[in-house]
Amino acid sequence: MELSLIRSLMDREFYEDHRGSRCPDRLFSSDVRKIKQSIDAAMDRYERTVTPDEIEALFIANNPTLTTAQKSSYRSLFGQIKREQPMGSDVAQEVLSKLFQQVIGEDIANLGFDYVNGDKSSLEPLRQMLEQYGDDFTPNLSIEWDDIDIETLLARNDLEARWTFNIPTLVRKVEGVNAGHLIEIGARPNTGKTSFHASLIASPGGFAHQGANCIILCNEEGYHRVGARYLTAATGMTMQEVKANPSKARDLYAPVKERIKIKDATGRDMNWVESVCKAYKPDIVLLDMGDKFAKTGGFSRPDEALKANAVHARMIAKQHDCAMFYMSQLSAEAEGKVILNQSMMEGSRTGKAAEADLMILIGKSPSVEGQEEDSPLRHINIVKNKLNGWHGMVNVDLNYKTARYEG
């Protein structure tokens, strides 16, 4: 490595960028160090790029006391240098920087060791070295800055949703979502969370009908139960009607079936979700339930694990160009409530919510004593909205038997 670096130092431009204290002689072994000193002398005298043959001739001429054996040893070393290909300037710069950090790091460590062991005189040189060379231990950054031309900003700022909601009362307030968005959806048990995402994806006008390739990863209910909701949402038929007329159901289901993939993901984590996205490149990913993909090890509190899980989900959405739907439970505080808020998220009142681009909470009216069936009325609360800023509530009806939200 040091011979390739010596070869690179023969280039005038590279040498000028790294001369003096940026490339001290002690970076090199003793014999190579003497050759480097000849390069220093040649650069000062000729102010141009030099060749290995020229440096060899200057070295031999300027060291007349070398014995025959020493000359033979140095000629062999120069032969190796001539066979070396000069490093690219970027690679040579990185190698030189690493060697420099290593040498300075050793000096700082030795001074620190001396100070700890009672040599107070080492404190000032230690402070000076840290002040002088501290920046050399910060990685060199080469940043390709993002394009902020008007055309790019207009195209990238979600002025139109790629995937629109198919619930009329909702779409009038929030048009839909785009790739890179994290949408958190929360409700109490038995409110209709699964029917909600089945309706958004599979029912008429849903994401699958719009051409989105959708992946549903479920770890709450069995895939067959989730799949049944998608089947009824797509066909508008109850399961009894599907059983009575499977041919009709098959025809109605066909337009979206190939764009809907469902997988039981029990026991899987968010790393697995990312692998799925990388392999299958979906437009829509739905996690039911999102919290159950969280890893709890290494966190002092459960809410920290859920926040990290949501951060990972959002990162996947951005890096893999998909919209990520993250289903969650609401705490008992939300039971029987119509108006809901972020703090009702179970397990993470703020951390998980902070990652959402859009947060939808579904409420239902409290049960009335003596009423045989719950009211189909559902209250869609938009409690966080970074897409267009609208907050509020819209009312819709849930058709239990077909898993369709209508309104």
In tens, the pLDDT along 47-105 reads 899 998 999 999 999 898 989 999 999 999 999 988 887 777 777 777 777 777 777 77
pLDDT over threshold 80, residue 132: no
Percent of the chain having pLDDT more than 90? 55
Q: How confident is the model at residue 133 (pLDDT cuts 50, 70, 90)?
A: low
CATH 1.10.860 domain locations along the chain: 2-137
pLDDT over threshold 80, residue 283: yes
pLDDT over threshold 90, residue 44: no
378 or 2: which carries more pLDDT confidence? 378
Of 121-135, 186-200, 223-237, the least confident: 121-135
Query: In the predicted model, what is the mean pLDDT of residues 349-356?
Result: 84
3-state helix, strand, coil in the chain (%, to 5): 50, 15, 35
pLDDT over threshold 60, residue 140: no
Q: How many residues does the chain have?
A: 407
Question: What's the pLDDT at 302?
Answer: 87
Question: What's the pLDDT at 191?
Answer: 93
Question: What's the pLDDT at 311?
Answer: 93
Q: Taking all residues of the chain, what is their mean pLDDT, rounded to a whole number? A: 88
Question: What's the pLDDT at 359?
Answer: 96
Strongest mean pLDDT among 226-230, 292-296, 303-307, 373-377: 226-230
Question: What's the pLDDT at 3?
Answer: 84
* Radius of gyration, CA atoms only, the chain: 34
pLDDT over threshold 60, residue 271: yes
Query: In the predicted model, what is the mean pLDDT of residues 356-382?
Result: 85
Question: What's the pLDDT at 153?
Answer: 78
Question: What's the pLDDT at 185?
Answer: 97
Question: What's the pLDDT at 22?
Answer: 64
Measured CA to CA, the distance from residue 66 to residue 75 in angstroms comes to 12
CATH 3.40.50.300 domain locations along the chain: 155-406
Q: How many CB atoms lie within 10 A of CB 47?
A: 9
Measured CA to CA, the distance from residue 270 to residue 310 in angstroms comes to 9
pLDDT over threshold 90, residue 109: no
**DSSP-based three-state secondary structure for 364:** strand
Question: What's the pLDDT at 369?
Answer: 62
- Residue 327 backbone phi and psi in degrees, to 5: -85, 140
Q: How confident is the model at residue 141 (pLDDT cuts 50, 70, 90)?
A: low
pTM exceeds 0.95 for this model: no
Query: In the predicted model, what is the mean pLDDT of residues 9-18?
Result: 84
Question: What's the pLDDT at 8?
Answer: 86
349 or 175: which carries more pLDDT confidence? 175
**CB-side exposure of 1: number of CA atoms within 13 Å?**
11
Q: How many CB atoms lie within 10 A of CB 193?
A: 22
Q: Report which residue type is found at 318.
A: K
Question: Would residue 298 be called left, alpha or beta, if left means φ above 0 and alpha means ψ between -120 and 50 degrees?
Answer: left
For residues 319-331, one letter each, b for 16 or more C-beta atoms within 10 angstroms of the residue's C-beta and e for the rest, the string is ebebbbbbbbbbe
Query: In the predicted model, what is the mean pLDDT of residues 338-354?
Result: 86
Query: In the predicted model, what is the mean pLDDT of residues 6-13?
Result: 87
Measured CA to CA, the distance from residue 56 to residue 75 in angstroms comes to 8
Inter-residue contact 36 to 25 (CB < 8 Å)? yes
Q: How confident is the model at residue 372 (pLDDT cuts 50, 70, 90)?
A: low
Q: Report which residue type is found at 68.
A: T
The angle formed by the CA atoms of residues 122, 123 and 128, to the nearest 5 degrees, is 100
pLDDT over threshold 60, residue 136: no
Q: How many CB atoms lie within 10 A of CB 41?
A: 14
Look up tokens 């409420």; give the residue. Answer: 363
Of 392, 394, 399, 393, give the one whose Cα is nearest residue 375: 399
Inter-residue contact 326 to 184 (CB < 8 Å)? yes
Q: Report which residue type is found at 194.
A: T
Measured CA to CA, the distance from residue 327 to residue 189 in angstroms comes to 12
| Domain spanning 2-137, CATH architecture | Orthogonal Bundle (1.10)
Question: Would residue 20 be called left, alpha or beta, if left means φ above 0 and alpha means ψ between -120 and 50 degrees?
Answer: left
Of 330, 224, 322, 243, give the one whose Cα is nearest residue 282: 322
Look up tokens 């849930």; give the residue. Answer: 398
Q: Report which residue type is found at 219.
A: N
Question: What's the pLDDT at 370?
Answer: 60
Measured CA to CA, the distance from residue 220 to residue 222 in angstroms comes to 7
Q: Measured between alpha carbons, how far apart are the two ends of the chain, in Å? A: 71
Q: Is 155-406 CATH 3.40.50.300?
A: yes
Question: What's the pLDDT at 358?
Answer: 96
